[in-house]
Amino acid sequence: MPQKKMKTNLKFFKNSKKLPTDIFFQNVLYDKKIGYYNTKQPFGRTGDFITAPKISFLFSEMIAIWVISTWENFGKPKNVNIVELGPGDGSLTKVLIKVFKKFPNFNSAKKIYLYEDSDFLKKIQKKNLKNNNIKWINSFKKLKKGPIIFFGNEFFDAIPIKQFKRDKNLLLEKYYEIDKNYDISEKYYKAMKIDKRAINQFKTFYKQSFIEYPKIGLDIMKKVIKKIIKYKGCILIVDYGFYKPNNQNTLQSVINHKKNLLFKNLGKADVTSHVNFELLHEFFFKNNLSVNKVISQKEFLEKMGILQRAEIIAKNLKFNDQSNLYLRLKRLLSPRLMGELFKVISAYKF
């Protein structure tokens, strides 16, 4: 690899010679000065990828319906907190606000919070969401009442993961190491006891020879769960991933809507991993939440009534606009596209 690119890589090691997978990519993605999510607009056609809310407003409308129906299941309380985890460019919440206004009782009860750590993305969100009733947070400390309804679309996949492999009776963690020539190599070291204990408590990992462990992500979920247990509430996660782990390295990089080599364009390309929904289900259950069965995005959106909603809207559209509406709907629902790749999990405490 050319030396110029190696010097770019060196910045993300922050004076360390080796870093575990999650900390390295945490630096690559979230460093305040040079991290991907703090320096680049990643969303939409001019960005690196497109999310469901940008594909069709119908997706966001179904999330809005889920939020309102969840509020109804909680007995229509006079105060309810709505928290979007990782709100992207604000497209999802923008539609939610429009839908909420059609339900006056809910609209007067709700308070919207956006959980965002990137100052760069906050500026984009605030530009797209000129609404004084929205509050931005980077921790959950300000949430002191309930119930609280948390939701996140493509939130969990963007949180860096740890990677391990089993070698006979040893659990080894993957590190990225840089040499004097600034060349990066993968090396495995004996896992720390705290991580070994954490991994061994999950049945999901029992027979896995290669393990992806979302330690940072689960730490965030612990804070979410703590609020749900204390004030009652619910969490919904929509993301791409698998029902059961299959011993594969799922780290992937994308730039300009195309696959990118993992160590190429560091800080300029998105890096994600597939979400282990079996692990999330087990994690929520172990932390005393009631957990619904993991379902596909297709099943979730159809249960929420997306097909019926599309029919109503299509009646008032010209042919070309109808075609566009259903083409976007197909992208969300088709098993060959997002319909089966994306999964949905929800957990709650009444």
Per-residue pLDDT tens digits for 253-293? 999 989 999 988 988 999 999 999 999 999 999 999 999 99
Q: pLDDT value at position 183?
A: 82
Q: pLDDT value at position 9?
A: 57
Q: pLDDT value at position 184?
A: 86
Angstrom CA distances, 257 to 133, 260, 334, 337, stand at 34, 9, 19, 15
Q: pLDDT value at position 8?
A: 44
The verdict on pTM exceeding 0.95 is no
8 A C-beta contact, residue 257 and residue 49: yes
DSSP states along 187-216: EEEEPPHHHHHHHHT-GGGTT-SEEEE-HH
Q: pLDDT value at position 47?
A: 67
Give the pLDDT band of residue 4 (cuts 50, 70, 90): very low
Q: pLDDT value at position 199?
A: 96
Residues of the chain with CATH 3.40.50.12710: 37-158+213-349
Query: What average pLDDT does this structure show over 122-127?
Result: 93
8 A C-beta contact, residue 238 and residue 176: no
pLDDT tens readout for residues 51-94: 999 999 999 999 999 999 999 999 999 999 999 999 999 999 99
Q: pLDDT value at position 3?
A: 36
Q: pLDDT value at position 159?
A: 96
> What's the CATH code, domain 37-158+213-349?
3.40.50.12710
Q: pLDDT value at position 13?
A: 82
